[in-house]
Structure 1
Amino acid sequence: MANGLPLGLGGAALGNLFTAISDEAAEAVISAALQAGCRTFDTAPHYGNGLSEHRFGHALRGVPRESFVLSTKVGRVLVPDAHAARAQNSYIEVLPFNQRWDYSAAGVRRSVEDSLQRLGLARLDVAYVHDCDAACHGDAYPQVLRQVITEALPELRRMRAEGLVRHIGLGVNDVQVCLDVLHEAELDCLLLAGRYSLLDHAALPALLPLCEQRGVRIALGGVFNSGILATGVKGVTAGHPVRFNYGPAPEAWIARTAAIEAVCDRFQVPLRAAALRFPLAHPAVEIVMAGPQTIAHWQDAVTMMGHAIAPAFWQALRDEALMPAEAPLP
């Protein structure tokens, strides 16, 4: 946590998401987070085909192991290929591998062991099953769900018993897959991206109450919804569209963001501050994960997290039907 606040560092941007940065620049962001007191870090093989994991491993090598929490993910195995494309899945200048979906017991074990070697560590604090939802797998989703429940999670439990993993969860952008898995299996935690934010409240009606009841702790990624809540929508032009959920923002989300921005302006509250603070009011949410690619963006997140916000601001959002009546307010 940074400065006693529940802010962690997510590693997608540090794997060259959309823009390539140097190893030194990536590790400088991790160092800045450490200096600010952050001790919660998340990465994945998907992020630059292992590049993000390599960078975290190098930056954290001299940090006492018990002083930080590190998570990574399973579900994709990296296969070496000297001819692999250097740009894959929105990542730039990736490492020379191709990704293969694999939720089998053997694939999950290989994924964890490969990640530990890239990180230079002997155990993971959290292993999340990554992107096992219908949006990623389409018609194959029922088969993927069954394999997650019957192979991936049991294998992760075995690795937990062996000491390779401490906690087990899902790392997804989708509410339904969390509900489907929790209907049949026990999880320690979730890393849920984008589905409980100042803008998108999809997780509120069913998932968050279930997690609170079951003691499943939630780390929230994507609290800026891929950018729209970081930049706002003022002055948006056709040539520079704002992003929502990893793509150009639909008009309905732009209009809703504009209405939230108007309330922010009235109360002199930065949109980014409201976006970081809002989800933490829910008792099931333990931490939010920022995903900066520069030191300046990390420092801004720390500043925004500490920004004082009057209760009247949150009530105004509710009064203008921009906040569900059942959403806990900060």
Structure 2
Amino acid sequence: MTFTKRVVGKTQLKIPTLGFGGAPLGGLLEAVDSEETLATLGDALSSGMTYVDTAPFYGFGKSEHVVGNELRGKDYVLSTKVGRLLKPGLPADPAGMGWPDPLPFHPEYDYGYDGIMRSFEDSLQRLGLDRIDILYVHDIGEVTHGSDNKAHFNALMTGGYRALDELRTAGLIKAIGLGVNEADVCSAALNHGQWDVFLLAGRYTLLEQDPLDDLLPQCVANNVSIVVGGPYNSGILVGGDTWNYGAAPDEIVNKVRQLKNICSSFGVPLPAAALQFPLGHECVASVIPGLRSRKELTQTLQWASHTIPDEFWQALRDQNLLHGDAPTPPKNPFKLG
């Protein structure tokens, strides 16, 4: 299969509109079958999903190992992340951090110059690859760090950014950005340096469109792309009951119920609408759901190929289920062929 490709920011890099989120390869929230995850990634690459995102944090190195083993010798676009270094020894409760069966390491935050450089080199070693295309600064922001974020953000902007810019200028990476679950820190970063792309998880979805008020117009003005992670809002838009990795509040449950009702009336699977919606915005370069099995991959490709009529999106507007400024996607935005 082939997918439409979009340019990343001001770079020459193009990525397919449907990519592969690698957090489940590290065993996010549940242990994984390593043979199944490897087969899933292999089938995804064969299906045209040649943009793969991973991170040292995912399974404390496990996801990077899986990704590297499958990408080696193949055509790919790869992003990984910096901001955490892996040190030997498991933490007291890795499952409480989201990883019930990780490799025997623990993460330590480091957003400074030396930390970014070491993280990049360590990732190349874990991946067993000689090329990484995009580096995202992982989980910078108040949601993760609370009152400590000011110090981490300062370390990034006074040291870490310089490391990223040097790697980009030297041609060792093609693009730099943030990989986060919150929009505000992306807006703040735009005041410090030249960024290419933000991986924004769960914040610009069929369920949430607040970035249309600030971040997305700022990205248009600065020619910065968005990669949308977590298009299903951690499960609730794909039949689960979790939102932001926790129990969904009543207002979210009620909105999802309304979305389901309209989907049913048009014969549109809710996950198909969730997957396709972000591609209506000019900033969005790719949507990268996390996949842990070949069954999930097959479902995703079916949802990506489902034709959604324009009347469906209008019905959502009529029920005030979309932000007033939300652009909607064309029919078949992934253009599978």
Pick the TM interval, shorter chain: over 0.9
Residue 303 of structure 1 is matched in structure 2 by 302
Gapped regions of structure 1 (runs ≥ 5): 233-241
Q: Distance in 2 between matches of 1:226 and 1:12?
A: 12
SS of 2:287 mapped into structure 1: strand
SS of 1:218 mapped into structure 2: strand
> What is the letter of the counterpart of residue 11 of structure 1?
G
Residue 275 of structure 2 is matched in structure 1 by 276
The residue correspondences of 1:39-50 to structure 2 (distance < 5 A) are 39-50=50-61
> What is the letter of the counterpart of residue 284 of structure 1?
C
Q: Distance in 2 between matches of 1:144 and 1:116?
A: 24
Residue 62 of structure 1 is matched in structure 2 by 73
* Counterpart contact for 2:201–2:228, Cα < 8 Å: yes
Q: Work out the percentage of aligned pairs sharing the same amino acid.
A: 43
Gapped regions of structure 2 (runs ≥ 5): 5-15, 330-337
* Counterpart contact for 2:206–2:274, Cα < 8 Å: yes
Residue 7 of structure 1 is matched in structure 2 by 18
* Counterpart contact for 2:87–2:105, Cα < 8 Å: yes
Greater RCO (CA < 8 Å, at least 6 residues apart): 2
Cα-Cα RMSD: 1.5
* CA-CA distance at 1:88 after TM superposition: 5.2
Residue 225 of structure 1 is matched in structure 2 by 233
* Counterpart contact for 2:83–2:111, Cα < 8 Å: yes
* CA-CA distance at 1:141 after TM superposition: 1.5
Q: Distance in 2 between matches of 1:292 and 1:123?
A: 23
Which stretch of structure 1 is more off in the superposition, 291-300 or 155-164?
155-164
Distance 1:83 1:8, change over 3 A: closer
Do residues 290 (structure 1) and 301 (structure 2) align? no
Residue 148 of structure 1 is matched in structure 2 by 156
Q: Distance in 1 between matches of 2:274 and 2:221?
A: 25
* Counterpart contact for 2:197–2:226, Cα < 8 Å: yes
The residue correspondences of 1:187-198 to structure 2 (distance < 5 A) are 187-198=195-206
* CA-CA distance at 1:84 after TM superposition: 6.4
Q: Distance in 1 between matches of 2:91 and 2:199?
A: 33
Q: Distance in 2 between matches of 1:230 and 1:200?
A: 15
Residue 29 of structure 2 is matched in structure 1 by 18
* CA-CA distance at 1:166 after TM superposition: 1.6
Do residues 323 (structure 1) and 294 (structure 2) align? no
The residue correspondences of 1:121-132 to structure 2 (distance < 5 A) are 121-132=129-140
The residue correspondences of 1:75-154 to structure 2 (distance < 5 A) are 75-81=83-89, 87=95, 89-154=97-162
Distance 1:2 1:149, change over 3 A: farther
The residue correspondences of 1:257-268 to structure 2 (distance < 5 A) are 257-268=256-267
* CA-CA distance at 1:2 after TM superposition: 5.2
* CA-CA distance at 1:181 after TM superposition: 0.6
> What is the letter of the counterpart of residue 62 of structure 1?
G
What is the TM-score normalised by the length of structure 2? Answer: 0.91
What is the TM-score normalised by the length of structure 1? Answer: 0.93
Residue 190 of structure 2 is matched in structure 1 by 182
* Counterpart contact for 2:90–2:106, Cα < 8 Å: no
> What is the letter of the counterpart of residue 195 of structure 2?
L
SS of 1:124 mapped into structure 2: coil
* CA-CA distance at 1:191 after TM superposition: 0.4
Do residues 30 (structure 1) and 5 (structure 2) align? no
Which stretch of structure 1 is more off in the superposition, 5-14 or 277-286?
5-14
Q: Distance in 2 between matches of 1:83 and 1:89?
A: 9
